[in-house]
A and B are shown apart, each in its own frame.
Chain A
């Protein structure tokens, strides 16, 4: 179940961005790019105060109450933004979007907070993963130009693909960018090996999983693009350690570079 489907994309004019903890702490260029792309698509972007993390690290480790306390904080903040008139909540990370739309109701129910579970379900009807929203907009809402020619391979992150069922959208958006040459990556939908705490609980297996993907990276790939900064962190860290010259970028960052006034 991917949860209730969001409403009409074209109605999304006032948008509340959920930054994500990885975006806040490790990779702020990703939420910055998301804001700029959303603005270019004619949205007014607000970043509600009071939001923190979706709670996924503790949820995936089995610590339900600790996860619920953190998730509730973000739920309160985002719900407040919707009450203040936001049409949509946008999340620039597939696994956080999955956590919020698919798992939040279950998390709050298990934590004994049925009211929060209901609120999470309602919020889920307005919650979009970034590329899911951008792709659903009429093309003329998001004018995309060109980027410096680059060869890219797209990584499909697991939760977004299999639980949020957002599969083709990022690649469809990239295909609208002139100069962005997408390669077919045979291992595109194979797990990167990150898995949150998995990456440090079973580091040898985690690295081996990244290797299996990187081993079959199409020749000439300059940038690995994804919609989850945490997968990209894993793939980048392993590629660097192997001395590979490939870099990583969130799809929002590629789109940002392709905005007509990006100065390119």
Chain B
């Protein structure tokens, strides 16, 4: 994880406060996530027993990951049998180095990409720039944020934090838009023209992978813009970068994931394009690249297997937990400071950041970006107990907590595990009521009183009233 990410250079509170103070951001994120959420609700209402489907998907993901290594081997064998190449990348740097070496070997100058969170994770675009490649994102949202030099703020809608006026600003300032247009269809038409040119000149196409299907050595890509089809068919070489957990053994399993993915994410029955790629172009085929490479990215994933957090590997990256999260709703994704945001990001980021056994305080702090309201757990199509995982991460943070925080909880526990001391502390609180407004000036009180009134303490505790026979 590069130090340039906001995760490393700022604190969670600072980032959430900045986001919350931006009314345009909140309006954009709120409107978009409300729309996704409502569409999800109606999409699930159209199928029979969605909860049974979610349970089945959870079980299926668990089955796949119980023979994870074996299934990955099968996938790799079949990719090779189809005439493709396979790179096993233990880290993001390994993935980037492999991809850069391919780019250099084929003399690539222009690289086109379709949306891939895995390559955001590895910082691939910077690595390609370092070997002289001009990399162009072709997913509309990704292109917008690439032009704006920002990071994705949502795993399926990277520019969800921007409205069309802001997009037009970006196109004018960074993409040479001369005549300003702000209608979505016109903005899309502009992007289409610009990107079409880049597709035609590209030597190398890079995509992510929504699912790797082991039994046929295939990669499934899900998009709504068709750009992944251009990326995988126009350049001579196609590289797919797949998070190592994104596999299915069989097409039946892939089918179950595909059915839930679009319904949960965007509320579509299926996304506009579902593209299946099984190796390079064969003799007699009209389309397809000369070379196909599959990069299987670990980057901390295998460390998660077998731990209390293993279910996080079941995530199918639909984004529904972001859309229902009341915290994300206020802050958008940048407040999380890294690639992944919302509840899944708050769980996955600390796990990936602690690969090799270290503890990353910056990433660990993300577990606090939740009220534990449980909306994410209820929405997850593979029933990941996100709330329980957040609690697990908080326990892990507690093990690394500073002396002051530990001492505070120990003192609290010592007092409140003794009824007499508990009663005394309650009585003390009623006495403190005479201090009135002074309480609001105690160190740290502003964390409550900025924007909220101070609660009025009662004259007598419940126990005092009970003992006095006044109840």
Contact at A204–B13, with CB atoms within 8 Å? Answer: yes
B residues near A65, Cβ cutoff 8 Å: 413
Closest chain A CB from B415 CB (angstroms)? 9
For B12, list chain A residues within 8 Å (CB): 202
Residue from A28, A61, A198, A209 within 8 A of B330 (CB atoms): A209
**Interface presence of A27 (CB below 8 A):** yes
The residues in B between 135 and 175 inclusive whose CB is less than 8 angstroms from any CB of A are none
- Interfacial chain B residues near A209, Cβ < 8 Å: 326-327, 329-330, 371
Q: Binary interface profile of B, 406-436, with partner A (CB < 8 Å = 1, else 0)?
A: 1001101110111100100010011000000
CA distance A61 to B406 in the complex (A): 11
Distance from B127 Cβ to chain A, minimum over Cβ atoms (Å): 34
Q: How far is it, in angstroms, between the C-alpha of A190 and the C-alpha of B12 when the chains are bound?
A: 23
Q: A61-B409, A195-B370 are in contact. Are A207 and B394 (CB under 8 A)?
A: no
Report whether A53 and B448 are in contact in the complex, using a CB–CB cutoff of 8 Å.
Answer: no
Name B393's closest neighbour in chain A (CB-CB): A62
- In the bound assembly, the distance between CA atoms of A53 and B398 in angstroms comes to 20
> Is A252 an interface position by the 8 A CB rule?
no
B372 touches A234 (CB 8 A): no
A198 with B413: in contact, given A208-B26, A209-B327 (CB under 8 Å)? no
Tell me the interface secondary structure of chain B in the complex: helix
Cβ-defined contact, A31 with B462, below 8 A: yes
Q: How far is the CA of A5 from the CA of B254 in the complex (A)?
A: 37
- Counting chain A residues whose Cβ lies within 8 A of the other chain, the interface size class is 35 or more
Contact, CB under 8 Å: A73 / B419? yes
Q: Using CB atoms, name the residue of chain B closest to A193.
A: B371
User: How many chain-B residues does the 8 Å CB contact rule pick out?
Assistant: 65
Q: Which residues of chain A are near B330, meaning CB under 8 Å?
A: 205, 208-209, 212
Inter-chain contact count A-B, CB under 8 Å?
A: 189
Contact of B391 among A25, A51, A60 (CB under 8 A): A60
Contact of A162 among B368, B373, B409 (CB under 8 A): B373
**Cβ < 8 Å to B, chain A residues 61-114:** 61-67, 69-70, 72-73, 77, 110
> Closest Cβ of chain A: how far from B77's Cβ, in Å?
41
Contact in complex: A25, B371 (CB < 8 Å): no
- Inter-chain contact A203/B465, CB cutoff 8 Å: no
The yes or no answer to B21 lying at the interface (CB within 8 A) is yes
Q: Are B471 and A35 in contact (CB under 8 A)?
A: yes
A175 to chain B, nearest CB (A): 25
Binding site for B on A (CB under 8 A): 19, 21, 23-29, 31-32, 35-36, 47, 49-53, 57-67, 69-70, 72-73, 77, 110, 158-159, 162-163, 190-191, 193-210, 212, 233-234, 236-238, 240-241
